Amino acid sequence: MFIGHFGVAFAAKRVVPEVKLGTAILAATFLDLLWPFFVAAGIEVVKIVPGNMEFSPLRFVSYPFSHSLVMALLWGGLFALAYVALGGSRRAAFWMGLLVVSHWFLDLIVHEPDLQLFPELDIYVGLGLWDSIGGTLLVEGGLFVVGVWLYLSATRARDAAGVWGLWGLVLLLVVSYVGVVIGPPPHNVSTIVITAIVGIAVSVIWAYWLERHREPKASG
Ligand SMILES: [Zn+2]
């Protein structure tokens, strides 16, 4: 899943307003941020197979360290611990841990059966929604629209940058998403690795910057 993860990150603002959007995006996409590093290190494997699924040319041959259920729980726990260690509240840390784990369940909806419950265990799950472009757009797009709407209901812009910064980020994510749907498959695995890291890093940094120009509605 791509844009749906950002949807739940936006929605988190409604539940834990003190958590920065950048942190929530980092949590929701954390497994996808680890993944390119594991691929580059050669311990996880992805192949480009045009037409593999209607929606995505990526075949996730092996990614147990970033994308198995047990490891997702472990990464979620570590993320929550780090959040507390950096001075965050336990309640917010709990929700951030949950956001990390939510990634696996959202991927479960769209991926073909390639997600493991546990590394080394040869059981692969995935509901395969990516084989339907309409269904994918409905579920992922729906999550994204609802998430942005919840974010808008929880914050307000302090200045013009708070308005255009938000819509700029939304536009960037939508355009990237449309590019994935209608664009050609990536050239090679290095392109995927770099795109994943840069894409997540840019959106996280953008979100931190953006929130210097927005504030929670309740505080006003
Ligand atoms: Zn993922």
In angstroms, what is the span from residue 32 Cα to ligand 1's centroid?
A: 5
In angstroms, what is the span from residue 146 Cα to ligand 1's centroid?
A: 20
Continuous segment of H or E residues that includes residue 145: helix 133-154
Q: What is the pLDDT of residue 220?
A: 44
**CA quadruple 95, 100, 103, 105: dihedral sign:** negative
Q: What is the pLDDT of residues 17-67, one digit of tens each?
A: 999 999 999 999 999 999 999 999 999 999 999 988 988 899 999 999 999
In angstroms, what is the span from residue 50 Cα to ligand 1's centroid?
A: 19
In angstroms, what is the span from residue 130 Cα to ligand 1's centroid?
A: 13
Continuous segment of H or E residues that includes residue 47: strand 45-48
Q: What is the pLDDT of residue 215?
A: 95
Q: Cα separations (Å) of 196 from 34, 119, 156? A: 10, 23, 30
Q: How far apart are the C-alpha atoms of 58 and 193, rounded to whole Å?
A: 12
Q: What residues have their beta carbon closer than 5 A to ion ligand 1?
A: 32, 107
What is the pTM for the complete model shown? 0.96
Of 130-139, 154-163, 174-183, 199-208, minimum mean pLDDT range: 174-183
Q: How confident is the model at residue 125 (pLDDT cuts 50, 70, 90)?
A: very high
Beta bridge partners of 59: 47
In angstroms, what is the span from residue 153 Cα to ligand 1's centroid?
A: 27
In angstroms, what is the span from residue 30 Cα to ligand 1's centroid?
A: 8
Q: What is the pLDDT of residue 105?
A: 98
In angstroms, what is the span from residue 151 Cα to ligand 1's centroid?
A: 22
In angstroms, what is the span from residue 78 Cα to ligand 1's centroid?
A: 17
Chain-wide mean pLDDT for the chain?
95
In angstroms, what is the span from residue 54 Cα to ligand 1's centroid?
A: 17
